[in-house]
Structure 1
Amino acid sequence: MEQTNASWSKTALTYGIYLGLISILYSVILYVAGQIGNQALGYVSYIFIIGIIIWAMITYRDKLNGGYMSYGTGVGLGFMTALVGGILGSIFAYVLFAIIDPSLPEQLLGKALEEAIAKNPEVEQNLDMVEGMMRKMMSPTAIAIMGVVSSAIGGIIISLILAAIFKKDKPMFEEAQAE
């Protein structure tokens, strides 16, 4: 039993590192293309998250655990995979926004303010207050923290769904024979 727990946590760490590296590579591509802050392209990252979690679950279930994976194990595996990937991606985001290109937060702030005013012209009346709130949210530290939190929340939601799809419980007679 301990070996199984060790292998799912190792699987989560391994695939979380894969997810983090893919996230970093995708961020570099977006940065070089001048597309950091593009919401539509940001949603593409969910394809990577879903794909890596599926890969982790199938690998664990079929190659490391004899073809079986409980729902709870699948949720834990997916959540930890997303969290590890989110932490690595957030570390890179902090480095990108704080060290590599400290002008990025200002650029994103300007773009966000323009979009907010375009959607709701009344925002212009409270521009100082809105800008102050946005400025706090666009700091490298806030971006990194939000990245980890959103990875955790998104990871648990995705994992709850995917674990239901990919779980495969051991038949009752096999469990009795194993004991």
Structure 2
Amino acid sequence: MENVAANPTKVATKWTLFYVLVSIVLTYTFEFLNIAPESPLKYISYIPFIAFLFLAQKEFKDQLGGYITFGQAFTTGFRYSLFSGLLLAIFVYLYLAVLSPGMLAHSLEQQQQVMADKGMSQDQIDKALEIGKKWGPLFGMIATALGSLIFGCIISLIGAAIFKKERSVYDVQDSNPDATV
């Protein structure tokens, strides 16, 4: 039987795919239930992000034989965050531009009211809405990618501190996994 080396990219990719699928389901569930994008329920989507990031770090630790350095744990979480942000950014762009442009229109209506409450002139509001209609999906895509990466880096640091378990000088790595004690 061939020993396969632990690979943080492979682990991160696996958990990224799980997270993106869960996020897509949550997005459409919120839309189906008419839950407003500004509702506090939107924070539910952070739970699977954090859980899958920790699961990626734990799986990589397990693949390394139960020992992991802070850097290895952080790298796994960083890769998960990067991949999640990129895939989710693509979904957000498609969602706002093609799949559900009504959500962008609803968001722009909300912003129109906020701008009016701040005392902006109708000309300023119209210009802002025009920019939002034209560039909204792209802004959403960029914000998703950067937000996921930044938030993920913070959570990766926390997870790395939790999962870190380095070998001591007395821990001997078994070079023959088939050997019995």
Same fold (TM over 0.5): yes
Query: 8 Å contact 1:19–1:81 — kept in the other structure?
Result: no
Which AA in structure 1 matches 2:100? D
Q: Cα RMSD over matched residues?
A: 2.5
Gaps of 5+ in 1: none
1:59-138 correspondence to structure 2 within 5 Å: 59-62=59-62, 64-115=63-114, 117=116, 121=117, 123-126=118-121, 128-129=123-124, 132-133=127-128, 136=131
Query: 8 Å contact 2:115–2:125 — kept in the other structure?
Result: no
Query: 8 Å contact 1:89–1:147 — kept in the other structure?
Result: yes
Which AA in structure 2 matches 1:59? E
The count of residues paired between Structure 1 and Structure 2 equals 170
Counterpart check, 1:142 vs 2:139: yes
Using the TM superposition, give the Cα deviation of residue 116 of structure 1 relative to its aligned residue in structure 2, in angstroms.
5.2
Percentage of matched positions with identical amino acids:
26
The structure carrying a bigger helix percent of its residues is 1
Distance 1:76 1:25 in 2: 27
Instruction: Identify the residue that residue 149 of structure 2 maps to in structure 1.
Output: 152
Residue 126 to residue 175, structure 1, CA distance change in 2 (3 Å)? farther
Gaps of 5+ in 2: 176-181
Distance 2:115 2:91 in 1: 27
Residue 126 to residue 79, structure 1, CA distance change in 2 (3 Å)? farther
Instruction: Identify the residue that residue 44 of structure 1 maps to in structure 2.
Output: 44
